[in-house]
Structure 1
Amino acid sequence: MEFSHNDNNNLPLSKFESMLKTNNVLFFDSNEFENIIHYYLNQGKVALAKKAIKLGLEQHPTSVNLKLFKVEVYIFENELPKADKLLNELHNLEPQNEEIYIQKANIFSKQDNHAKAVDVLKSALKFADDTTDLYSLIGMEYLFLDKFEEAKQNFIKCLEQDLEDYSALYNMIYCFDFLDQNEEAIEYLNNYLNNNPYCEVAWHQLGKQYYTIKDYKKALAAYDYAIISDDTFVGAYLEKGKVLEKLKKYEEAIESYTLTLQLEDPTSFALLRIAQCYEKLGKDDLAVQYFYQTVHEDPLLDKGWIAITKFYNKKKNYQKALYYINKAINIDTENVVYWKLYAQINHRLNFLEEAERGYKKALELGNYEIETWIARGDILLKIGETEAAIYNFLQAAEFHPENAELEYRLGGLYFLQHEIEKGTFHLKNAVRSNQEYAFIIEELFPNVFVKPQVKKLLNVK
């Protein structure tokens, strides 16, 4: 029988702790020791558990269960050879004790030998009266092996014996998701709910499956049933809000998100979703209010700062947008999206050096889109960094070979540098690729455009 300090069945525990303080040795039967040890292990009090094991084995030296607790501690402390040696001794005493097999499998799992762990756990099935936990453990080992179909089947077997093992239910759905078996998951969950119709977890998971296949009406119904089963289920209200957003029912979505704020402490996720719903409804004052609440609730939530940035960016209030994108970057300096937005905002404000820095950082972080290369190169040209602009476009051409926009720019830059041969080479490439982009030379390189040689290359008068 398990107990805690908060119940009325804790007499053996109190007695044991009193004994430790007084050094008086008192007698406990083996079951009492098992409960004491189990309690300490659950509480993470390994030192006290070890004391209880030591005293327990002094009073009950033949107790296999107490020795199994000793094995468990050995494994926890990564003393696997000691655990294995003791398990072999116990196996000779009780070769049909399923717990010995479970701990043996635990050792193999710790050694990353998950296939062997599966074999051992399967052997334990022959001796177990209740195989529920064993199927769950086998499922977990298959997950470590990335054998999702086998894992799924074992979690299903676990649920066949215990419908309320929600850990197995979540793991099984994870397997369905990984295997992209949404329809199969929906079929399973509907059958499961026929036997357990008030399981809010299953309704919630069913809603997520319908959401994935974009059947939003059925997803909404599933979340409603989850809420009927448990009207304090915050996760169901949040997911319901997301579905309502997809259906463009923003007022109802706000209502669903707002309910979560009443059920528990406000979450930045719910506040952010409410803000974005108000923005879509054109209620900017309320949107801003909730954006501010979002970052107040969680100042380290970069998504909150980026949402405000995008809000002000759309409103063309670039000064405020710049302030908030800086906040986002301070939280996550390696986010390529933030740096690109930072560059675009600075560009609109004509802060060219900062814009160039932003585009450069985006490129360093792996954003090799043609627009990023061109934006940075054009800024370098504008601020007189001709050599840097050439190098930028040559790098871009490695990722985007024979791109007309790049070739025209390289041609113009080389003519600016009086490197006629290189300029001619790139302009010929450009015209061959797409003559319609010839206006680039006129717009970006007016002094080059007027040269007769260049006009001839471009086929313009």
Structure 2
Amino acid sequence: MKDIHDQNDSDELEDGNNTDDKNNDNSKNKLNSDLYNYYDPESLEDKINDLYESKKYDDALPLINKYLELYPYSVDIWHKKALVCDALGKFEEAVEYFDKAILLNPNDIEIYLNKAIALDNLEFYDESINTLMRVIELEPDNLEALFNLGLAYERLEKYNEAAECFRKVVSLDFNYRDAYYELGYCYDFLDMFEESLAAYKKHLEMSPMNYNAWYNMGIVLNRMGRFLKSIECYDMAIAINDKFAPAWYNKGNAYAAIGRLYSAIDCYKNSLELKNEDPFCYHNIGNAYEEIGEYNLAIEYFTKSIKLDPKNYESFYGRGNCYYCRDEYSKALEDFNSALILCKDFSEIWYSKADAEIALGLINEAIKSYENVIKLESKNYDAWFDYGCALVEANKFNEAIQAFENVSKINSIWSEPFYEKSKIYFITGEIEKGVENLEKGFNLKPEERFEYDLKKDWKKILDFLNNR
């Protein structure tokens, strides 16, 4: 009895499922029927287009899918589905549906153009270029394809190829203002500054309120060393958009370049009001105060820069220089060491570190630091000279002589290394060599020559050498 009862229950469950399936099929049939009856293809497509134009992409997608169930070979709706996915940020899906549309109509230029944009959004620049080249095969003078091809080349930093595309655009349409803007950008990267300025000026004739173009033109003028003209361009950008922090920042750089440091500081501070967590801005203010000699303020701003960007070796270096100028050599050395942890190949930091070590009496450490300087800059005669002086302090006279001879090889008209060698030879009792080098120094700098009798004027000679 129990088995029969269980079996009956099972039969009833199966019967229930069959009923549900039939109801579902009926619902689907009814929906399909409604779509056929209520929407003819044209009406359904109009509804999809209305939703797309209203940017109701999520609402449009179900209708698109239903349309494609009914009409799977519709090029326009596959294209529309791709555009909806693109608008929703689903770029990979968009490319898939663009390809379906292309399969159905391989000569539709608009589909290729939109596919190229989706590929660009995916940062698939080479694929985007290939797609745009297909458009140009179909229509060689297609402005949109040529312009977007230029943008794709730009993103790959192929500025010659990009510029060629933009030149082609303006040859076909003299009033294509965006192409002039991009030409200016490309020419800047190609160090073709006059051509860059001409392109930006042409763009600004048509779009005088484009603060980005004024700003970019200022950058080009700045690179050309025309700092006052660059300031005028930054002023135009700021007049159009006074909240544009980069214009304030680079205006500050231009003022700093011409030595107007307080004006530079004011600009940097205006930039910080708009973008208050910019370590480069704090660093540049620190640099300006350092040049002015206001070391306390410089240290304050370098410290703010370091807090925002602890890997900014230049701020450690700048702050170290300020501590050095305040005779706080231990703090200076600490900052120079921090800078070198971040950047070991900057000879100026090694040089400053050596100077701080000399000031602290750390002669052997200074010698090692000077050695790093001359490894990085083998022709730096100042470094060879200071290295030689440190070796003298360490009583390493033979090595010091060699260092001073290297100085003379690099800078043969400088008298100082001869005086230093003279001093060493006198210390080591090699009087003739001492006199010989003293005379060589006098020959290079006759105004320092004085008459002496080696036996009677020994103290005079030593005072001359020691007080240099």
Name the TM-score, length of structure 2 as normaliser: 0.64
* Higher mean displacement: 366-375 or 252-261: 252-261
Partner of 1:304: 315
For residue 430 of structure 1, the aligned residue among 440, 447, 467 is 440
Residue type of the alignment partner of 2:83:
N
Flag the 1:428–1:266 CA change in 2: closer, same or farther, 3 A: closer
- The CA deviation string for residues 314-336 of structure 1, in whole angstroms up to 9 with x for no partner, is 33332322222222112111111
Q: SS of 1:333's equivalent?
A: coil
Please give the alpha-carbon distance, in whole angstroms, between the structure 2 residues aligned to 1:60 and 1:246: 55
Partner of 1:360: 371
What are the within-5 Å matches in structure 2 for residues 49-448 of structure 1? 52=96, 57=100, 61-64=103-106, 102-103=129-130, 126-128=140-142, 130=144, 132-133=146-147, 136=150, 144=158, 153-154=167-168, 160-164=174-178, 168-174=182-188, 178-181=191-194, 185-212=196-223, 215-245=226-256, 250-279=261-290, 284-400=295-411, 404-407=415-418, 409=420, 423=433, 427=437, 430=440, 434=444
Please give the alpha-carbon distance, in whole angstroms, between the structure 1 residues aligned to 2:257 and 2:243: 23
Give the deviation of 1:288 after TM superposition: 3.1
Partner of 1:35: 83
Flag the 1:162–1:437 CA change in 2: closer, same or farther, 3 A: same
Residue type of the alignment partner of 1:163:
R
Tell me, yes or no, if the aligned pair for 1:135 and 1:155 is still in contact at 8 Å.
no
Give the deviation of 1:345 after TM superposition: 1.8
Partner of 1:92: none
Residue type of the alignment partner of 2:192:
L
Residue type of the alignment partner of 2:130:
Q
- The CA deviation string for residues 296-353 of structure 1, in whole angstroms up to 9 with x for no partner, is 1111111211221222223333232222222211211111111111112222222211
Flag the 1:9–1:392 CA change in 2: closer, same or farther, 3 A: same
Please give the alpha-carbon distance, in whole angstroms, between the structure 1 residues aligned to 2:172 and 2:217: 19
Flag the 1:257–1:413 CA change in 2: closer, same or farther, 3 A: closer
Q: Quick one: percent identity of the two aligned structures?
A: 18
Please give the alpha-carbon distance, in whole angstroms, between the structure 1 residues aligned to 2:102 and 2:319: 66
Give the deviation of 1:372 after TM superposition: 0.8
Residue type of the alignment partner of 1:384:
N
Give the deviation of 1:200 after TM superposition: 0.3
Larger Rg: 2
Flag the 1:389–1:226 CA change in 2: closer, same or farther, 3 A: same
For structure 2, which runs of at least 5 residues remain unmatched after alignment? Answer: 1-48
Let me know the Cα RMSD of the aligned residues: 5.2
Q: SS of 2:104's equivalent?
A: coil
Give the deviation of 1:162 after TM superposition: 3.5
Partner of 1:96: none
Tell me, yes or no, if the aligned pair for 2:391 and 2:399 is still in contact at 8 Å.
yes
Give the deviation of 1:146 after TM superposition: 5.8
Please give the alpha-carbon distance, in whole angstroms, between the structure 2 residues aligned to 1:61 and 1:210: 50
Q: SS of 1:295's equivalent?
A: helix
Name the TM-score, length of structure 1 as normaliser: 0.65
Partner of 1:9: 57
Tell me, yes or no, if the aligned pair for 2:135 and 2:145 is still in contact at 8 Å.
no
Please give the alpha-carbon distance, in whole angstroms, between the structure 1 residues aligned to 2:141 and 2:272: 50
Tell me, yes or no, if the aligned pair for 2:204 and 2:213 is still in contact at 8 Å.
yes
Flag the 1:290–1:402 CA change in 2: closer, same or farther, 3 A: closer
Flag the 1:31–1:343 CA change in 2: closer, same or farther, 3 A: same
Please give the alpha-carbon distance, in whole angstroms, between the structure 2 residues aligned to 1:394 and 1:412: 14
Residue type of the alignment partner of 1:179:
M
